[in-house]
Amino acid sequence: MTAARQQRKSSRAFALGLAFGIGAFGVIFEASGILAAPHDRIVVDPDSGLALSGFDPVAYFTERRPKIGRPNLELRRDDAVWRFQNEGNRAAFAAHPEVYTPRFGGYDPVAIARGASVPGHSLFWSVTSDRLYLFYSAETRAAFVAEPGNIIEAAERKWSEVARTIGR
């Protein structure tokens, strides 16, 4: 294990140890992670430029629920504006965006597995294999929860093809 990965893993373990509560839509944690590819297209609000509708990406891991970020704690990355609850979350994201950026750029993995690009919603989510996944609806989240490995595998196979269809 590289020193950077070991440090990242230790930081996440510490952050998860501090976490409390489960959000209204729940969360799933599994072992081992899948990191975002550099070509991921990020779902961004076209009017505000916000990723995750302004929710803090790190809070899904540390608070185990979506928490709205603060406008005075923003970071611009990947053509998106990310908001955070606190300086620590912003620093964690800045140091390891590949950990906290939603997988598939925030597009619903169930739709991707079917060959379509459908933006996920910040309130329908799951942390699985140390990655954040967003879903279009409670129904697609439930389908994912029922068989995350199969859906992730299918979405991985389709992602490069689907990503090419997403306009910039």
Q: In which domain, by residue range, is 74 found?
A: 3-164
Which spans in the chain are helix H?
3-18, 59-62, 87-95, 97-100, 109-113, 138-146, 148-164
Domains held by the chain: number: 1
Q: pLDDT tens digits, residue range 13-57?
A: 433 333 333 333 333 323 223 233 334 589 999 999 999 999 999
Cβ-based neighbours of 66, under 8 Å, separated by 6 or more: 23, 52, 55, 56, 59, 60, 122, 123, 125
**DSSP label of 50:** B
Q: pLDDT tens digits, residue range 54-109?
A: 999 999 999 999 999 999 999 999 889 999 999 999 999 999 999 999 999 999 99
- pTM attached to this predicted model: 0.76
Cβ-based neighbours of 7, under 8 Å, separated by 6 or more: none
